[in-house]
Structure 1
Amino acid sequence: MSESTGVIHDIGYQRYSGPRLGRGPVFGALYLHGLRTVFGFGRSAKAKIFPWLVVGIVTVVAAGVTAVRSQLGEVVMTYAQFADTMSWLIIFFVAVAAPELVSRDLRSGVLPLYFSRPLARSDYPLAKLLSLVTALWLLLGGPQLVMFLGAAFTVDNGLRGVWNELLDLLPGLLYAGLWAAVFGAIGLLVAALTGKRAFAAGGIVAVFLMTTPIVGILAILPSQTTTELAFLASPMTMVNGVGTWALGDLLFERGGGLPIGGFGPLYALAAGLLVAGCVVLLLARYRKVATR
């Protein structure tokens, strides 16, 4: 009876001798990878079509608004109104981007590999959320910068005019950040509930679109208080309400505000609680996933 013997083959693997990076660099790598994923970098050409189509659309709109202002001297759209106008397009962008960030990892079962590294359970969802929020803010804020640069070369009063234009731009960028936080938090939470990207995308669109008719129903009720509070029923109109209260008539000079009465602070509080609640539920979701 022959005795079997093992053989060790040297196929060229070597031990890693570089620095051992900790939790911070791992979080940063996840964040940058997520940001690249949203815009299709490092993926196939097909994966780049939709995100860059959206980038192209918002840039063309901003360029058109800038051209009209430079030629006719008329402000067609304020910075804050740009975010409002593009919000419907951003819904579908989130519906595509959020499942790519988290649903694929859930379905392929690679999360145990992530959590085998020096990475807290909360780091993974927070890095993905930060990636999505940053991408959405760039998507809404970048075109506003195009509008600002165009206005800076056409405004009167020299540097004073440019300064006044900058003072209009900054609140618009903050408003874009609010849109990004609300859209990103809701979208990533819905996407984290399933590993099937189609289901996640449909759920994200449904959350935003199915709540809008509720606002319409509440807004036609005879009570004025109910009408002023009706916009809390939808994430989109809730953000509009915060903008109406915080930014005022200066940035909504073309009638973009909502009739929210004196409930502006309540809208701001509701938006903050909505984002915080989504983050808490997202962290709870990944605590559960990590222990399976």
Structure 2
Amino acid sequence: MSESSVIHDIGYQRYTGPRLGRSAVFGAIYVHGVRAAYGFGRSAKSKIFPWLVFGIVTLVAVIIAAVRAQTGTVPLNYIQFADAMSWLIIFFVAIVAPELVSRDLRAGVLPLYFSRPVRAADYVGAKVAAMVTAVWVLLAGPQLIMFLGAALTTKKGMSGVWGELDDLLWGWSYSLLWALLFTGIGLLIASLTGKRAFAAGGIVAVFLMTTPVVGVLATLPSRTAQELAFLASPMTLVSGVAQWMVPNANTGLPIGRFGPVYAIEAAVLIVTCLLLLLARYRKVASL
């Protein structure tokens, strides 16, 4: 340093506050992900689609509750309701999944995440948890409306309420399975590209391409092939699990004795998608 050099104090100070660590970062990424899924903290345009889908699903639940209260018949049970909303859920996932992960890839902010004490598993875990929460709430909220309508109009007293609560819990468990499977598939596809349009198209394409396969296999003369046909599509896969595990699911799928096969494939598919997603971000973190 020369004799004419001068050190200027421009007011920078060391950070002396609490250092919250990885758990706080995980929570922040999770909360931001849930908010982003429903457009909170973003422009009004970003809120239109998620809240339109939520409004439609809720309206259907209100109509079902009203019909049941007036006629005493059950148009759709909790399992059938989730199945009936399947395509809306797919489009919701196709929009939200790229929002949660593709934007980070495109903006190049992942090095900033991983420069802190955040591991790839933390990032992936927070994004998965946020997506699962968003999808589960989309189904569980309207299912709660259906339950309240049924509980308030039951003619069987408390026994009817408890029976309805048991059905609701099965329905919520089924909705969680939907959320886990569709989150795994959606986030894995979205993590492969920073372009949200490509990611959304890829997610929808997976379901569009697998659905006709089920139709073809279901027409085969072999009864075994017909009972296993529904393994070919994620949508019918989860319905097959419900048909085997949930009392009075009434999904209408003739899966025969292959219920355990459906459950095993669903578990393997979820775990595989999550492991591939983790491997993808470990690779990104190492760059």
What's the TM-score bracket when you normalise by the shorter of the two chains? over 0.9
Q: Secondary structure at the match of 2:85?
A: helix
Aligned-pair CA distance for 1:291: 1.4
CA distance in 1, matches of 2:156, 2:8: 79
CA distance in 2, matches of 1:149, 1:75: 14
Is the CA contact 1:241–1:257 (under 8 Å) kept in the aligned structure 2?
A: no
Does residue 159 in structure 1 map to residue 158 in structure 2? yes
**TM-score between the two structures when normalised by the length of structure 2:** 0.96
User: How big is each residue's C-alpha offset from its partner over 1:38-89, in whole Å with a ceiling of 9 and x where there is no partner?
Assistant: 0111111110010000110011000000011111111111011110000111
Runs of 4+ in 1 over 6 A off after TM superposition: none
CA distance in 2, matches of 1:268, 1:208: 19
CA distance in 2, matches of 1:241, 1:103: 31
Alignment correspondent of 1:251: 249
Aligned-pair CA distance for 1:13: 4.8
Does residue 54 in structure 1 map to residue 53 in structure 2? yes
Alignment correspondent of 2:129: 130
Q: What root-mean-square deviation, in Å, do the aligned CA atoms of Structure 1 and Structure 2 show?
A: 1.5
Which has the higher mean CA deviation after the structures are superposed, 116-125 or 270-279?
Answer: 116-125
Alignment correspondent of 1:174: 173
CA distance in 2, matches of 1:103, 1:66: 38
CA distance in 2, matches of 1:16, 1:43: 29
CA distance in 1, matches of 2:82, 2:8: 62
Selected match of 1:279 from 268, 274, 280:
274
Alignment correspondent of 2:81: 82
Q: Secondary structure at the match of 1:92?
A: helix
Aligned length: 286
Aligned-pair CA distance for 1:251: 3.0
**TM-score between the two structures when normalised by the length of structure 1:** 0.94
User: How big is each residue's C-alpha offset from its partner over 1:160-200, in whole Å with a ceiling of 9 and x where there is no partner?
Assistant: 21111101111011001111111111000000000000000
CA distance in 1, matches of 2:18, 2:93: 36
In structure 2, the gaps of 5 or more residues are none
CA distance in 1, matches of 2:139, 2:261: 25
Alignment correspondent of 2:110: 111
Aligned-pair CA distance for 1:116: 1.2
Q: Secondary structure at the match of 2:120?
A: coil
Structure 2 CA distance for partners of 1:291 and 1:222, relative to 1, 3 Å: same
User: How big is each residue's C-alpha offset from its partner over 1:196-255, in whole Å with a ceiling of 9 and x where there is no partner?
Assistant: 00000000000111100111111111111111111111111111110111114x232xxx
CA distance in 2, matches of 1:64, 1:186: 31
